[in-house]
Chains A and B, each alone.
Chain A
Amino acid sequence: MTFFTVVVRGLLRRPVRTGLTLVGISIGIAAVVALVGMASGYEKGIGKQLDVIGIDVVVSNMSGGILPKVYEASLQERIAKLPHVADTTAILMQMLSIEDAPMMMVSGRQWGGFAWEKLKLIEGRMPRDGTEKAVVLGRLAAEVLKKKIGDKVQIEADELPVVGIVDGQALVENGAIILSLPVLQEVTGNEGKVNFIDIRLTPKSTKEEVTRLCEQVKEIFPAGRAMVASEVVGTSQGFRIARAMSWSTSILAIVVGVLGVMNTMMMTVFERTQEICVLLAIGWKRSRIVRMVLWESALLGFLGGLCGVAIGVVGVKLLTTLPSIRGMLEPDLNPRLLGTAVGIAVVVGLVSGLYPAWRSSRLTPSHALHG
Chain B
Amino acid sequence: MKPFHLAAALGFALAFISSAAEPTAPMPAGELAARLSALRQNGTSYVRVKMDINGAKKEALQLQIKERRSKTATDVVYQVLWPKERKGESILLRKSGARAASGSIFIPPNTLRVIDDLKAPLLGSDLSYEDLVEDFFAWERQAIVGTEAVGGVNCQLLESKPGKGERSSYGSVKSWIDTRRMVPLRVEKYSGSGQLIRRIDTTRVVSDAGHHIPANLTVSGARQGSSTELDGTRIKHGVAFTDRDFTTDGIKEIVTPRGSQD
Contact = CB atoms under 8 A, between A and B. Distances in A.
A156 B3 contact: no
A96 B9 CA distance: 15
B262 A103 contact: no
Contacts of A187: 256
A156 B7 contact: no
B27 interface: no
B12 A102 contact: no
B8 A242 contact: yes
Given A62-B15, A97-B50, A189-B257, A103 B233 contact: yes
Contacts of B64: 156-157
Nearest to A225: B12
A69 B262 contact: yes
Interface in A197-243: 227, 229, 232-233, 235-239, 242
Nearest to B209: A65
A145 to B, nearest CB: 12
B178 interface: no
Contact of B6 (A105, A157, A233, A324): A105
Nearest to B261: A70
A80 to B, nearest CB: 21
A189 B258 contact: yes
Interface in B33-77: 48, 50, 60, 62, 64
Given A64-B262, A189-B259, A96 B7 contact: no
B260 A103 contact: no
A103 to B, nearest CB: 5
B11 interface: yes
Nearest to A91: B10
B21 interface: no
A99 interface: yes
Interface residues of A, number: 53
A60 interface: yes
Interface in A141-182: 154, 156-157, 159, 172, 175
Contacts of A227: 11
A60 B62 contact: no
A70 B234 CA distance: 13
Nearest to A232: B11
Nearest to B50: A97
B4 A238 contact: yes
B262 A95 contact: no
A178 B8 CA distance: 19
A66 interface: yes
Interface string A180-191: 000000011111
A188 B256 contact: yes
B10 A191 contact: no
State the main secondary structure of chain A at its contact with B.
mixed
Interface stretch (A42-50, A124-132, A307-315): A42-50
Contacts of A64: 262
Given A42-B5, A188-B256, A189-B257, A63 B11 contact: no
Given A103-B3, A328-B2, A172 B48 contact: no
B134 interface: no
A227 B64 CA distance: 34
B262 A100 contact: no
A93 B257 contact: no
Given A103-B3, A154-B81, A70 B262 contact: yes
Interface of B: 2-16, 48, 50, 60, 62, 64, 81-84, 206-208, 231, 233-234, 254-260, 262
29 contacts: A46-B10, A58-B11, A63-B15, A66-B4, A66-B206, A67-B12, A68-B12, A95-B6, A95-B7, A96-B234, A97-B62, A97-B231, A99-B60, A100-B82, A100-B83, A102-B50, A102-B231, A154-B62, A157-B81, A172-B6, A189-B258, A189-B259, A189-B260, A235-B13, A237-B14, A239-B8, A324-B2, A328-B5, A329-B5
Given A172-B10, A328-B6, 6 more contacts: A95-B7, A99-B62, A187-B256, A189-B256, A189-B257, A192-B259
* The 9 nearest A-B residue pairs measured at CB: A238-B8, A232-B11, A237-B13, A100-B60, A97-B233, A97-B50, A157-B254, A103-B3, A66-B7
Interface of A: 42, 45-46, 49-50, 58, 60, 62-70, 93-97, 99-100, 102-103, 105, 154, 156-157, 159, 172, 175, 187-193, 196, 227, 229, 232-233, 235-239, 242, 324, 328-329
